[in-house]
Amino acid sequence: AKDSGKNNFKSYCPEMEQGLRFRRELEVELRHALTRGELELAFQPLLHLSSGQISGCEALIRWKHPVRGYIPPSEFIPVAEETGLIGTIGEWVLKTACKAAVSWPPHIKVAVNLSPIQFRTRDIVSEVRAAIAESEIAADRIELEITESALIDDSKLTEVALFELRSLGVSIVLDDFGTGYSSLNYLRKYPFQKIKIDRSFVGEIETSQDCLTIVEITLLLAKRLDLLITAEGVETVEQLNLLKALGCTQAQGYLISRPLSAACILDFVRTQSGN
Ligand code: C2E
Ligand code: CA
Ligand code: CA
Ligand code: CA
């Protein structure tokens, strides 16, 4: 009976079957992607609004697949997380991002995304310490971006790790603010220096009164809690001016620059700094 059930599933859901096969193939290929050098980092600049200077760049992973072409992180990061491969990949991202950043002007920070899985399955503090030692980057140039989902299980382990990371001198950033759960308690409990407003809010600040209100209140909250704030996904001059007028610290988005290759970002930050 079980077998025929399986057959029915196969014949009635060819799309799902195909989806699963694709995912399994992706998993196998992802295992090799690192060793074959198919993973790359792109860097997207962050504009400091009151000075008009580039003050940081976020590392964003890219997979250049030899056959399928470019695969976005939204497709393979979940697979990497489910299979545990995110541990090795995340460590590579950390080291590679720090190595790239040492050749930028020293006032420019580097932001690295951490998966919640890295806190649960790896010694993330040792990995960050090793990345700092190997690259010889100043710890205060590193920003670690974590989403609320890293904090959702309220684990003591994650809490301790975050405070240890902070004591190394790196900054802790709450990413995708407002899209998860109970963010306000997290702000009280963990050692954040900065929050990032998700681009789903930023994209509608001119068209939705509700989005504008949410952004305004978030900015006020950040200010009162002595937190810096970055707005993600800024695509228009109007959005930029509005955010600036509201006292937002930094802006990131296609208006300022798309994510660039390591070589291009080096040119970009050097030109910006007049070197
Ligand atoms: P995120 O951390 O929220 O990163 C911002 C995403 O918004 C990036 O997508 C960026 O390319 C995109 N973006 C930036 N400016 C604009 C804009 O003006 N308009 C629009 N429409 N999009 C903009 P990307 O590079 O595809 O990355 C997607 C997500 O994948 C990231 O979201 C992050 O959660 C995850 N990710 C990327 N790299 C890594 C990594 O190294 N490790 C981990 N764990 N996750 C990563
Ligand atoms: Ca991020
Ligand atoms: Ca994110
Ligand atoms: Ca986001």
List the structure tokens of 85: 């491969």
- Mean pLDDT, the chain, whole residue set: 91
Quick: pLDDT tens for 62-117: 999 999 899 999 999 999 999 999 999 999 999 999 999 999 999 999 999 999 99
Atom nearest to 90 CA in ligand 1: 42
Burial 99-116 (b: 16+ CB within 10 A, else e): bbbeebeeebbbbbbbbb
- Which residues line ligand 1 at a C-beta cut-off of 6 Å? 44, 59-61, 72-74, 77, 90, 93, 113, 115, 175-176, 199, 232-235, 252-254, 259
Instruction: State the Cα torsion 116-118-120-125 to the nearest 10°.
Output: -120
| Series of mean pLDDT values for 10-residue runs along the chain (275 residues) | 47 71 87 94 98 97 93 94 94 98 97 95 96 98 93 84 97 92 83 96 95 95 96 98 97 98 95 75
| ipTM of the shown complex | 0.97
List the structure tokens of 152: 């959702």
Amino acid identity of residue 59, one-letter, is: A
**How many CA atoms lie less than 13 Å away from 249 in the CB half-sphere?**
18
Nearest CA to ligand 1 atom 23: 233
Nearest CA to ligand 1 atom 33: 113
Tell me, in angstroms, the distance from the centre of ligand 1 to residue 53's CA: 22
Is pTM, for the whole model, over 0.90?
A: yes
pLDDT for position 5: 46
**CB of 38 within 8 A of CB of 243?**
no
Instruction: Categorise residue 233: left if φ over 0, alpha if ψ from -120 to 50, beta otherwise.
Output: left
What's the CA gap between 219 and 226, in Å, rounded? Answer: 10
Nearest CA to ligand 1 atom 8: 60
